[in-house]
Structures are given as C-alpha cells and as structure tokens.
Chain A
Amino acid sequence: MLLNIKNLVATVEDTEILKGVDLTVGLGEVHVIMGPNGAGKSTLANVLMGHPKYQVKDGAVEFNGEDLLDMDVDERAKKGIFMSFQHPQEIPGVALANFIRTAKREITEQKVNLLEFSKELVSKLNQLNMKQEYMDRSLNQGFSGGEKKKSEIVQMAMLKPKLAILDETDSGLDIDAIKVVYEEIQNMAQKDNSIILITHYSRILDFVKPDAIHVLKDGKIVATGDRSLADRIEAEGYDIFN
C-alpha cells in the first residue's frame, strides 16, 4: 500500500472541512475523485501536501509505511509526493527552468546535469506545445490559465513523483494538452507510480482506466465505484448521494 488515509478530519480557521476521509491507494493505481464544488477535494490534496493553513484534528495518513502528517512540506516532496495545484502560484523573478532544476536537485539530493536536464525539459515543453522561451520566464507569472496547468504537468514530468495528486489539472486545458496529461499519467502508472486525479469531467475516463472512482461530498467519501458511477453522476448529478 502506498497511501493509507484513515478517518482524516481537518479544519481551516476552525471550520471543519474534512469530516473523516478514508482512502487507500496502491502502487501503480489511478484513483479519481469527483464531487461538488466546495466538497473538500482541494482541501484533501492540500492536507496531504501539508499546507500550514489546515489543521489536522483526527485520523492518520501513512505514505510508504511512514507517518506523513509528521513531515514538513518539503520532506513530503522528497518522499515522492507531488501536487498539481488547482491555482498555481506566480513567483516573479524565478525562472521556470531554474525552479525545476533546484527542486530536482533537492529531491534527488544529487547534482543535476544541466545539459541532460535542459534537453528533457525542452522535449516536455515541446510535447505540450510550449515554446522553449518559457524556460526562462518567471515561474507562472503572466501565464494563461491553461499555461499554468501545463507548467504543473511539466514539473510533474521532470520530478517523477511516486504519488501525484492532480487537482483539476484538466480544467482549462485544450484537448491536445489533455491528451499529453493522460499519456503522462499512463506512463507513471506503468512505472508503478500512483495518481489521484481530482476532476469534474468524466471524459477523462475515455483516456484513463482508473482503479477506482470516489465521490467526495461534504468532507467524506460517500461512494466508490467504477465507470458506471461516473456515468450516473453525469446523468443525475450529486444529489443522489444524500
């Protein structure tokens, strides 16, 4: 088991958002999380990554057998967790390439060969139809909504995490880019890496075969199923889970 979440309860500014989430993710598995706006999906992602704004009140999270909640944010990243943000931050004056290279050096604890790194980065940018110039642009600054999502995918592809949590990465992306995202997901899963995909769109299921689909509503996983669950939501909405 790669990730094991038990009865996770979390608050933000004294408001309880996660009200006892249970979820397990195995090696190489792809899990989809769907749910209405405000259900707590991004909160779950942020709590797993360790955002200081959220307080964990109860429950436990194990990652690779270790207590995840005890770790600093950067430590979690070093253990192999990656989160693609619903709203990526803009960091003026920090070049995209430089940022990813620093991150890679920290995570691998090794020097990063500049030439190999640049080659790989350029090819990832190419795949996403992003010009090479983006390497030297300030991280996400002035990027369009879709470009920010692409920047997240490039970072994921370069950092090669064990578990990627993609928070609505497919929202705002053009269809070509979405295909690249799904290819990247398949690649990762084949290499025994795992993915949690937060999404509002069941079209994703035309490209990716997830191991499970979960519905998060009002801070809890209220249903788990397969493709047919997604189809039901598509047809009837989330009211069926009352």
Chain B
Amino acid sequence: MERKKSYIEDVERGIYDIVDQEKHAYIVDKGLTEEIITEISQVKNEPQWMLDFRLKCLKIYKSMPVPMWSADLSELDIENIVHYVKPDAKQSHTWDDVPDYIKNTFERLGIPQAERESLAGVGAQYDSEVIYHSMSEHLARQGVIYMDIDKALIEYEDIIKEYFMTLITPHDHKFAALHGAVWSGGSYVYVPEGVQVDLPLQSYFRLNAKGAGQFEHTLIIVEKGASLHFIEGCSAPKYSVQNLHAGAVELFIREGAKLRYSTIENWSRNMYNLNTKRALVDAHGTIEWISGSFGSKVSMLYPMSILQGAHAKSEFTGVTFASTGQYLDTGMKVIHAAPYTNSTVHAKSISKNGGYAYYRSLLRVLESAHNCKSTVNCESLMLDNFSKSDTLPIIELFNDQVDIGHEAKIGRISDDAIFYMMSRGISEEEAKAMVVRGFVEPISKELPLEYAVELNNLITMELEGTIG
C-alpha cells in the first residue's frame, strides 16, 4: 500500500536475544588446527578412533572447496570461529542442579515448562555441551535410550562407532567434514522394537558464546514397528560477529517404524546455519519432517530422506521466513531407492523487507524404484516489491513407472487483499499478519499446539518490522 513506511532493520526478538554473561569452564582458541581438534577430543576423554576420525575429517575439510552454488560464504571466516566452548556446568538430571543463569535462559525459552506439560524427555545443550538430560521413568523401563551423545560414545561405543557419520559422511560437503572434525554435544536416541513413545522428546540447543560455533550431532535409531516424535529447538542471541551452526542429524528408521522430526530454528541475524540432516527409511517405515527456519544471516538446509525399503514414506512440511539481509536457502531432498515408495513435500516461504528465500529441492528416483509416487508443492509469498524468492526443483528420474505431481507458486501479497481486510477495520499490519498466518496455516495446523503457537509468535515477531 502506498503511504509512509518505516522499516526497522532487525526484529526485536525479545527473549531469544537475551545474552548471558559468558562463564565457561573451558574454551579453545579460535580457528582450526590439529592441535585444537586433539585438545577437544582429549578434554572429552574420547576413544582413540574418534580422535583419528576427527583428524581425518579435518584433512577432508581443508581439502574441499567452499561450495559456490548457493549463498555467498566469503564473509564466513572459519579462523575466527571458536569451535569448542564448554559451559561451566556439569550435566544434571534435575533443573535444580543447573546453574541459575543457564537455567533462567531455558526457563525463558519455556523448556522446563514444556517438559512438565507435554514432553517425555528433554535434553538441553548450552554452547558445546549438554547440561541437562532427563527422560520419564516408564520410557526407560521400556528400554528407550535418550542421552547426550558424548556420554553415549562412552556407554554405547560400539553402536556409535557403527552408525556415527555413516549416513552423512565427511565427503558429502565441506561443512559435513567440518562437523566431523569439531562436533560436540547433541543427542542419542534409541527406541527398541515395537515401543511407541507417546509424548515427544525434545533437545534444545542454545548457543550463547560470542563468535562461537555449535556442532551438535543427533543420532536416532527407531527399531522395527516403533514410533517417536523428536523435537529439536535452536536459538542464539544477537551479536555483531559471526556465529556458525553446522550440526548433523542422522536418523535410522527401521521396518514399519515411524519418526516425526520437528525443528523450529530461530537464529540471530549473525548466524551461518549450515546444517545437514538425513534419514534412512526401511520398508513400510515413515519419516515426517517438520521444519521452521527463522533468523540467521545465511541458511543452507535441505533434509534428505533416503527411502531404501519398499513402501517407505517421507513427508516434509516446512516454513522459511527471510527478512532484511537474510539469505535462506532451504528445501528437501528425496531419494526413492525402492519400489512403492511415497514422498510428499509441502514447503512455504515468506520474504520481507529485502529478504531472499530460495527453495531448492532434489527428487531422485532410482531404476529399482518402480511404482513410486511423489507430490511436491511449494509456495512463496513476498510481502513487498523488493523481497526475493526463487525455486529450483531438480528432478532426476531413472525409471518411468512413477507418479509425480509438482506444483510451485510464487506470489506477492496482494494490495487488493490487504485493502479488503482493512475495509473491515483491520490495520494494515494486522491484515498482513493474518495473510501470512493464513498462508502457513496448512503447516501450523500439523504442529502440536505449543509449536503452532511458537510458530505464530515467531511470525508476528518477524512481521513487526514492517509498519505501513
């Protein structure tokens, strides 16, 4: 609408931006050398094979070029990132034992409350280490394991050795190699055959230290016929220097098992979010991705489902919101590697105030994957004339017995729609917010209530920068 406009450069992110005074037990020097890697591994008392693996990853990392096909990463200066910051807190199983300043941060983010009300287990990571972990008794009795992965490396060394970075290998891309070299923290979940985990488990990753990186590793195995809903939350306060997030998520879904993996990421505007997520799904298994990408300076995030068993299924639902100075390159990859596999993608992006939302996807159907079905639906909404949106769907078919539906829509918020709503007494700001909330409604209604509310709150926060 034509009229005076005022733009605010950055959003007021409220609770997410509150910075704790830095108190760490241990911090390594900036940059990346064999000495630093060795130091991280020694501080953690890791087995020799893990140190060897880290050093191998470092070599691969150094040998690989910075990817050039997407975001401009030239400003990202790895030598200036601190790769390991150990918080000054031992891991606790009750919030009472967590130092107050860290506990308060998680209180503000609503984690302990959610734990009391709607979760079966919680892991909370602060900078490089998990400082809190707990799970309900009855899950433990059924053999469910939910613990921080550094601890799992000691207690379940064989399993970790068997699975760790086999789905995402250090050769995949430069930041996967970086992750392998400097990873720290994250969660390990094991759900035994046939066990249905009724309430979700949630891990929350908070990066507080300035100029640091967070490289958590999540490894989940859901055995035959079992089911789990896992929620990952991430945030960091705002700094003027770069932070880097390069986590890795490896999910193994066995025959007939089901995993829903939900993420709401809300990074500050100085963050490079270069995360890698992958799921391997056996016959009749299901992976459901729910993904909300907010904040960050640059995001490159494309969860991948590999459907390796017949009738395996992947569903992806995602929202991306890009505002001033943000380049969010998100999407989904699906590999159909078995017959009768099924995938759906439902992606929405919003761009505002010059933000750039890029949707990029890959659909690959292998020769063996006859009679598979794929439905892709992506929609972009631009809130003004100087925001940008693109879509690049790549489809590679190696057999023609497939049923593929693809729909992509890019649109701008219409002046007529806003006028219509304002003609009923609704302010321009509220009208835009309603249109945006309506746009993501098909996604928010899929979320558990608390997360639908969080999604709506984040959208409101993002929108508050535009005043007509």
Contacts and interface: CB of A to CB of B under 8 A. Distances in A.
A209 interface: no
A107 B440 contact: no
A107 B425 contact: yes
A73 interface: yes
Contacts of A50: 419, 422-423
B426 interface: yes
With most chain A CB atoms within 10 A of its CB, the pick from B2, B421, B441 is B421
Contacts of B434: 91, 94, 99, 102
A173 interface: no
A88 B414 CA distance: 13
A93 B3 CA distance: 27
Interface in B426-468: 426-428, 430, 434-435, 437-442
B73 interface: no
A80 to B, nearest CB: 10
Given A52-B415, A93-B437, A94-B438, A99 B3 contact: no
Q: Which of A49, A78, A102 has the most CB of B within 10 A?
A: A102
B407 interface: no
Contacts of B416: 89
Contacts of B421: 89, 91, 99
A77 interface: yes
B422 A93 contact: no
Contacts of B442: 93
B394 interface: no
Interface string A179-194: 0000000000000000
Interface in A46-61: 49-53
A94 B438 CA distance: 5
Nearest to A81: B423
A94 B444 CA distance: 13
Interface in A100-127: 100, 102-103, 106-107
Contacts, number: 85
Contacts of B437: 93-94
Nearest to B414: A89
Interface string A67-86: 00000111011100011010
A159 interface: yes
Interface string B376-420: 000000000000000000000000000000000000001111011
Given A74-B425, A103-B426, A106-B426, A89 B438 contact: no
Contacts of A94: 434-435, 437-438, 441
A106 B438 contact: no
A103 B419 contact: no
A89 B420 contact: yes
Nearest to A76: B423
Q: Chain A, interface size: which category?
A: 20 to 34
A185 B419 CA distance: 24
Give the one of B3, B414, B425, B428 with max A CB within 10 A: B425
Contacts of A78: 425
B138 interface: no
A93 B427 contact: no
A24 to B, nearest CB: 22
A73 B419 contact: yes
A155 interface: yes
A103 B425 CA distance: 6
Contacts of A93: 437-442
A90 B439 CA distance: 12
B422 A74 contact: yes
A25 to B, nearest CB: 18
B241 interface: no
A137 to B, nearest CB: 12
Contacts of A100: 424
B423 A83 contact: yes
B32 to A, nearest CB: 46
Nearest to B445: A93
Contact of B420 (A52, A72, A76, A88): A88
B422 A73 contact: yes
B287 to A, nearest CB: 26
B439 A106 contact: no
A102 B435 CA distance: 13
Nearest to B431: A74
Given A92-B438, A94-B435, A102-B434, A53 B415 contact: yes
A51 B2 CA distance: 10
Contact of B419 (A52, A90, A102, A159): A52
Given A85-B423, A91-B417, 8 more contacts: A49-B423, A50-B422, A74-B423, A74-B425, A91-B434, A91-B435, A94-B441, A106-B427
Interface of B: 1-3, 414-417, 419-428, 430, 434-435, 437-442
Q: Which 9 residue pairs across A and B have the least CB separation, nearest first?
A: A93-B438, A93-B441, A77-B425, A103-B424, A73-B422, A89-B420, A107-B425, A106-B425, A94-B438
22 contacts: A50-B422, A52-B415, A52-B419, A72-B3, A72-B422, A72-B428, A73-B423, A74-B425, A74-B427, A77-B424, A77-B426, A78-B425, A85-B423, A91-B421, A91-B434, A91-B438, A92-B438, A100-B424, A103-B424, A106-B425, A106-B426, A159-B425
